[in-house]
Amino acid sequence: METDRAKRTVDVIIPARNEEDCLGRCLQSLVAQQDISFQITVVDDGSTDRTRAIAESFTGVRVLSAGELKPEMTGKVNALVTGAAGSTAEWLLFTDADTFHYPGSLAESVREAESRKVDLFSYSPEQEIASWWELAVMPLVFADLVRTYSSERINDPADPIVAANGQYILVRRQVYESLGGHGVLPLNVLEDIELAKMFKVSGHRIWFRYGAGIVRTRMYRTFSAMWEGWSKGLAILFRRPVLLAIKRALEFVAIAVLLGAGLAMIARSHFGSAAVFFSTGVLFYLIFLFRIRQAHFPWKANLMAFIGLPIYVSLLLRSHLHFNRRGELTWKGRTYAQSAPKAAVDSSTRKGDLR
């Protein structure tokens, strides 16, 4: 790992707030990167667990404390500003503590960004899923994200649609600084999309794609964290979350009713009617599976996603309620106003992360 800042190619910046469960794995994968000069900086954003101690246990990793939180910033943005300050590297990589970086991925990402002649390059990480609720819900969210944020449109300079994933954003430092960096972004927990928007609107090329073989992550390790995280973010990611909830609810009801009616017809020995109901229900389910497959999840998750539809619908509606009715959202133990942003207020309990 290169220690001379003047010669470094990449500064890797990791904002971390209470990340003791995953930071160690992330840093192990990063310090082992080869074929490129880099420095890793962990910015401790007021952690109350072992996050800072874990970061300091890695030789060569620079550990900073986040600066004083300003009223117009989220805690994560404040940490990113702290980490990027004073860098002289060619590239800045903003990545999250819950990521795992494949061997050689750092050098490969820089090569790809340079070959595509882009100023902002972002991967959507592979998603690690283990529990039944992750298998049932995560494919649903990402299937709709893939449909909403098409890579083809994002990567088209003439198309206004924009997106990036804050778990892996690589930017040319000089361009980033010339635009003002994270410090000029509006108060928004989706700082990744706001950053990509700033680059694209300014005429700088961005590139976004699925990061298979480059980076992976497990976003939520508990149901409560997933419930808190997605219920706060979905209303921002999707412009009409209530309409989307209605569509997904109808999808679930249609498939369940058709297949259920088929079973009822069999019980009554009405085999002709049963065949009609079953074939129609199976057709609808196959259409559902085709959509879910676009999210790059294993077949086990694709098949389980149907039972997650009621949870997903509830998340969409809850997110709409929080964002549009309560006028605030809670993220990483801080509460932010949605209008006339005020300073974040620390709460006594830790909330789920939002990506």
Top-confidence residue, 217 or 343:
217
Is pLDDT above 90 for 92? Answer: yes
Is pLDDT above 50 for 344? Answer: no
Is pLDDT above 90 for 190? Answer: no
Is pLDDT above 50 for 238? Answer: yes
**Of 3-12, 121-130, 188-197, where does mean pLDDT reach its minimum?**
3-12
Each domain of the chain, given as residue ranges in start order, spans 5-125+165-221, 130-149+222-355
pLDDT for position 322:
77
pLDDT for position 71:
73
Top-confidence residue, 335 or 193:
193
pLDDT category at 330 given cuts 50, 70, 90 is low
Is pLDDT above 80 for 347? Answer: no
Instruction: Please give the CATH architecture assigned to the domain spanning 5-125+165-221.
Output: Alpha-Beta Complex (3.90)
pLDDT for position 90:
96
Is pLDDT above 70 for 116? Answer: yes
Average pLDDT over residues 123-148: 94
Render pLDDT for 274-300 as a digit per residue (tens, 0 to 9).
899 889 999 999 999 999 999 999 999
Which amino acid is residue 205, in one-letter code? R
Is pLDDT above 60 for 48? Answer: yes
pLDDT category at 20 given cuts 50, 70, 90 is very high
Top-confidence residue, 346 or 303:
303
